[in-house]
């Protein structure tokens, strides 16, 4: 029988700790909770977990510092909870090795699905030769996407993406020239039980473009078809 994954949940808001713990335990995860970064570091040093969910703003030690300390001893996947859309914090955190970001307020269902997605990416494959379509390396012109390692390169330069951004880009790049509606992109990036509105996808596309333009100011392969959706330009 497969052993349950252990999630370390770190947040100074008691109601978030309680509600997320219940949601994750209902999905079969083991959950350890901490109310600040310092106690989490002590606990995780003594007994590592399979994945961490860290709030950014916390007393005694914030989530960024906790991640920095954890990265000195472990490659444990980490998802950040953030109170607002803090792009500077996000880019800094991703470069330090965070795996994904979830902005408050969020649905418990969304957190559970992101946890599952990050764990899937971090777990070693069974070694069988049959790779599903979604795990094959995608190469489109200057783009190289490796779902197995969750890496993205543009013209040989690394581009750091969240899990959600990666899944959206993967859906677009898999079929160049084919228009993907916002609904189709939502399906690719989110569980069907999670509700997100159209603007969420637009926001992810905007941030994807911004990240690629940081390595290539002429990046233009994600095209908008107004009123329809998006497509990856045929190369």
Query: 21 and 57 in contact (C-beta within 8 Å)?
Result: no
- Whole-model pTM: value is 0.63
pLDDT of residue 157: 94
User: For residue range 94-126, what is the model confidence (pLDDT) as tens digits?
Assistant: 666 677 888 888 888 888 988 988 887 666 544
Q: Catalogue all structural domains in the chain, each as residue range(s) with its CATH number.
A: 6-122 (3.40.50.2300), 133-232 (1.10.10.10)
In the chain, alpha helices (H) = 14-26, 37-46, 63-71, 87-96, 108-122, 163-174, 182-189, 198-213
Half-sphere exposure of 46 (CA within 13 A, CB side): 6
Token output for 125: 């494959």
User: For residue range 46-81, what is the model confidence (pLDDT) as tens digits?
Assistant: 999 999 999 988 888 988 899 889 888 887 889 988
User: For residue range 174-231, what is the model confidence (pLDDT) as tens digits?
Assistant: 999 999 998 888 888 765 555 566 677 888 898 899 999 999 999 999 999 988 999 9
């Amino acid at each position: 029988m497969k052993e349950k994954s252990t999630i370390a949940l770190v947040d100074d808001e008691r109601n978030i700790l309680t509600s997320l713990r219940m949601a994750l335990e209902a999905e079969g995860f083991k959950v350890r909770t901490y109310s600040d970064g310092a106690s989490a570091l002590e606990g995780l040093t003594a007994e590592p977990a399979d994945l961490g969910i860290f709030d950014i703003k916390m007393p005694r030690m914030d989530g960024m510092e906790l991640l920095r300390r954890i990265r000195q001893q472990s490659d444990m996947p980490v998802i950040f909870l953030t109170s607002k859309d803090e792009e500077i914090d996000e880019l800094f955190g991703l470069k330090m090795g965070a795996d994904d970001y979830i902005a408050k307020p969020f649905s418990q269902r969304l957190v559970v699905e992101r946890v599952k997605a990050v764990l899937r990416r971090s777990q070693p494959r069974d070694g069988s030769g049959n790779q599903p379509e979604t795990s094959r390396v995608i190469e489109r012109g200057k783009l190289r996407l490796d779902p197995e390692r969750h890496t993205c390169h543009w013209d040989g330069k690394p581009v750091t993406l969240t899990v959600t951004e990666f899944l959206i880009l993967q859906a677009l790049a898999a079929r160049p020239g084919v228009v993907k509606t916002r609904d189709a992109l939502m399906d690719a990036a989110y569980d069907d039980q999670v509700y997100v509105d159209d603007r969420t996808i637009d926001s992810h596309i905007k941030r994807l473009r911004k990240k690629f333009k940081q390595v290539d100011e002429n990046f233009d392969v994600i095209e908008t078809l107004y009123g329809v959706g998006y497509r990856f330009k045929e190369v």
